[in-house]
Amino acid sequence: MSFIDFNTFQNVDIRVGEIIKAETYPEAKKPALKLWINFGQHIGEKKSSAQITDHYKPNELIGKKILAVINLKPRQIGNFISEVLVLGVPDMKEEGVFLVIPDNETKIGSRLY
């Protein structure tokens, strides 16, 4: 394990977003969903490709609040540009991924501290 100092960690911008659109991404090499996420007035809408198909269907995700890193460089994933990294953790069998979600009501665009 390598360590980073706290100042480096503070450069990682993790925000609360709300999924406003989700669809399957059949062209992806590994099963994935395309997500459109609202991060509020100051940041706006961003896109992400997420390998979360084991536990989520597109229609179940609309309105769900999630945490995502918003200041990574965009990545080309197939014919889709992923602008943010949606955070997730492996399930108990390490076969699928669960989204990291806020426990209580949070404001869209709020930063993780």
Q: Residue 80: give the domain boundaries.
A: 17-99
pLDDT, residue 84, reads: 98
Structure-token pair, residue 32: 């994935």
Cα–Cα nearest to 31, from 19, 21, 23, 43: 23
Is residue 65, in this structure, part of any structural domain at all? yes
Q: 8 falls in which pLDDT band (50, 70, 90)?
A: very high
Is residue 26, in this structure, part of any structural domain at all? yes
Cα–Cα nearest to 45, from 54, 34, 56, 55: 34
Write the pLDDT tens digit of every residue in 25-64: 998 889 999 999 999 999 999 999 999 999 999 999 999 9
Is residue 111, in this structure, part of any structural domain at all? no
Is residue 38, in this structure, part of any structural domain at all? yes
pTM score: 0.94
Residue 78 DSSP label:
T
End-to-end CA, the chain: 22
Write the pLDDT tens digit of every residue in 64-98: 999 999 999 999 998 999 999 999 999 999 889 99
pLDDT, residue 113, reads: 85
Domain count, the chain: 1
Is residue 64, in this structure, part of any structural domain at all? yes
